[in-house]
Each structure stands twice: as structure tokens, then as C-alpha cells.
Amino acid sequence: MIKFNEKYHSYTNSFTGERYISATTLIHKFTKPFDTEKHAKRVAEREGTTTEEIKNQWKEENKIACDYGNHVHQVMEDWLNGEDVQIKDMISYVEPFEKLVENFDKSLITPEKRLWNHEYKVAGTTDVYQDFSRYFNLYDFKTNKRFNFTNQYGEHLLNEFSHLLERLKEINASKGENIFLPSLGKKAKFTPFTLKQQKDLLSKLPDDSSGVLSFNNNFNSIIMDNCMEKISLDDLNSFDRLSVVTQYRISAVGGVLDKNEKKLDLNMLTKSIESAKYEKVFQEKEIKNANFKAIVKIPTLNYDQKINVSTIFKIKKANKQQEAIAEMFVAEVLKYITSITILDGPDITMDMYQSSYDEKIKVIEQLPNNFTKKIFAFISTVKLFEEKLTTIEDTKIDISNELFG
């Protein structure tokens, strides 16, 4: 009834013409595929050779193992069919077989028995079928060096729940959406925003002034987790985060935002982000007077995140709300300064990206107001540009956790 095509390792119902899934294929659906490229690269780096050499080595070892396994199977089958073979030569390789041979009643066994289930459309071939009328035994000969019932991570075959999760991850990876990143001047592919990520954003909303800082850091992590292209937080800035936040909000909650008794179309915000001219606002600028020089620019998300972490720590220790606000104000200024040079006498330059948070704070707090106001002017230009982008129908949209509620 069930025909087996050895070339394609497939089973077909000879009456209906239906293809049945093989037992081997079914099992593979519940195992994680081996990432040859990834593991070969890791082994090659460890052994000081190339990835191709490792893959060729594995291919040769696999061929030898397959040839040997086929030989053992053939010897076992010939013996079960009553042919004169020297199975004792195989005992050291197939340890359970000697005991199995002693107890076999050959009249009850059938080698290479084909089995199937019409309801589930599954078929397979067992090496030995032993029929006891009321029950039966199935045997499968294996020539593996060892048997592991879990992998190196202690994982078994995937159950239905785990298999579903794996499939969801695969689907998410294949159903990415393109989001415009202003810093790169192009769209990048991202996996879909998940319900868990939305839940985490809402659950991590702090009760103090650090809310917006925590939101930004949480979303930085989402960007790195979901971006399917090779980028880092050093490549991006806050306008890229704004673009991703907006697109994910539309995907997760919808394109309409109810605010101030208005229904705001967030798709207009997306269009504004994609059509804006960023050349001037993204440019690094030198601010200078007779005594000081500062280089200012929009911070990368990586630097922004580092400052946020330190600021949140300071805010948690603040005794009063005013102290927390003051910390946030100074930190926001700090983000935009990449270096400060003292010009009075021999030039002394401080690389702000390489200095500690406390060192940076102490330095900028000593800068005179007539100099820092020029830095404030640059920051105000950036903030005004951002405000125009995030304003729809004269209503400013706050980029925070509340967008995802």
C-alpha cells in the first residue's frame, strides 16, 4: 500500500497517490537545525584554521560514518534473513546487539519493516519488527559513537510549545519591516515588535523622574535585538530611535493617537521623519571663545545610553525632586559635548567620551555661563528640530512608554 522511493527518501500511498511524511522528517521538525556556518567558524577560530577546512573535515567524517553505518545495517539485515555472515566482528561496535541476538526468535521478526499511519499521513521503515501478536517491538540499529538524549544546553527534542516558539521566531525573522534610519539615510530591516517587548516597556515605567531615560535605554535594546542588519548603537542617534519608536507604535497599537481631544495620525510623523533634511542638524560644530573650545554634536545612542545609566543612578540617590531635575539637566548638556579644550596656555583637551561620568560633570560645571550658553544654543537647535518633527496639528507628541499603553 505504501511505496518507498529510496532516491528521494519519500513515501507514497499507492492507492491515493498521497505523499506521506517520513518519520525522520517529522522528528527533524522538532529539533533545532545545526548552524554549520556558525559552528564551523567558531571551531576554525579555536583551531587556527579556515571555516572551509573545518566544513570539509566534517563532510569527510560524515561520509565515513554514513558508509560504516550502511555496512553495519546491511550485515545485520543479511544475518536476520538467514545469510551466513560474521556478525561477531561487529560486536565491539554494536554493543547491545550480542545480547539481542541471543534472544531473537527469527520466526517472529521481519527486517526492514515498513510502517505507516493513514490518519496522520506518516510512514517509516524500522530495521527490525518483532511481532508478539498482542504487542510488538521495534529496533533501529545505530552506530553512533555515543548517545546524547539532550544537547550541550540540556535541551531535549522540542515539545509543541517550544516548537511553536521556534516557528514564531522564524516567522518574525522572515516578516521584517523596513524602517527609515536618518543617520544612515536609508531603511533597515527589523523584526516585528512583539507583545513581550510592549509588555516590558510598560512594566519598566519607573515612578521617578528617570522615566524617559529608562524608556530610551529600553528602546535602544529593542533596536539592537530587532535590527536584522549589521549596525551598532554607535552608528545611530536619537532621531533613529524616534523613527523606530514611531513605526513600532503604529504596528503595535495603531496609527491613531488620541490626545487633547484630537485623533492624531502618526503616519504623518513617519512621513516627516523620512522627508526631513538632517544635514545641518547632524553636523559636528565647534564652539569657541578666547579661553575654551568645545566640539558638540548629537550623541550616539551608545553614548546616550551610558550617560543615561549614570544619570538614573544619581536620580535614585537624589533626596528631592529638584535635585533629580538638576541632574537630568546637566546630563542632557553633557551628552552633546564630545571634547573640551582649554586654549589659555598650552592646549589641554579632554575627550569626554573617554572620561568618567563624575569627571565630565565636574568639568562642565566649571565652564563659564557665557560659554555654556553657546552650547545650550546648539542643543536648542536640535531640540527645536525634533519638536517640529514630533508635532502634529499643533500638538506635541511625547515619545515615551505612554505611546504603547
Tens digit of pLDDT for each residue in 153-179? 555 555 555 655 666 677 677 777 899
pLDDT tens for residues 109-123?
788 889 988 877 889
- Grid cell of 42 as nine digits: 567558531
* Mean local confidence (pLDDT), 308-336: 87
Rg (CA), the chain: 33
- Number of other residues whose CB lies within 10 A of the CB of residue 137: 13
Amino acid at 272: S
pLDDT confidence of residue 69: 79
- Number of other residues whose CB lies within 10 A of the CB of residue 324: 20
**Measured CA angle at 15 (ends 9, 16), to 5 deg:** 80
| DSSP label of 118 | T
Asked if 367 contacts 342 with a C-beta cutoff of 8 angstroms, the reply is no
- Provide the total of helices (H) and of strands (E) in the chain, helices listed first: 14, 16
**Residue 98 predicted with pLDDT over 80:** no
pLDDT tens for residues 200-242?
888 766 566 678 888 899 999 999 999 988 899 999 999 999 9
**Residue 96 predicted with pLDDT over 70:** no
Secondary structure element (H or E) that encloses residue 314, with its range: helix 301-317
Give the burial class of 368: count Cβ atoms within 10 A of its Cβ; 0-12 exposed, 13-18 middle, 19 or more buried: exposed
pLDDT confidence of residue 239: 96
* Mean local confidence (pLDDT), 270-295: 93
Q: Rounded to an integer, what is the distance from CA 217 to the centroid of its chain?
A: 17
Strand partners, 5: 10
pTM: 0.61
Q: Strand pairing of 186-190 and 177-181? A: antiparallel
pLDDT tens for residues 242-253?
999 999 999 888
Detail the DSSP E strand segments found in 132-204.
136-139, 177-181, 186-190
Cα gap 220→244, rounded to integer Å: 10
Q: Rounded to an integer, what is the distance from CA 48 to the centroid of its chain?
A: 28
Amino acid at 8: Y
> Using N-to-C axis directions, what is the helix angle for 195-203 and 211-226, rounded to 10°?
160
Q: Which residue has the cell 516627516?
A: 272
**Residue 34 predicted with pLDDT over 80:** no
* Of 47, 10, 12, 5, residue with least CA distance to 25: 10
What mean pLDDT value characterizes the chain? 84
Confidence of residue 90 (pLDDT cuts 50, 70, 90): low
**Residue 271 predicted with pLDDT over 90:** yes
Helix (H, G, I), strand (E, B) or coil at 396: strand
How does 326-358 read in b/e, with b if 16+ C-beta sit within 10 Å?
A: ebbeebbbbbbbbbbeeeeeeeeebebeeeebe
Helix (H, G, I), strand (E, B) or coil at 129: strand
Secondary structure element (H or E) that encloses residue 296, with its range: strand 292-296
Helix (H, G, I), strand (E, B) or coil at 287: strand
Asked if 158 contacts 31 with a C-beta cutoff of 8 angstroms, the reply is yes
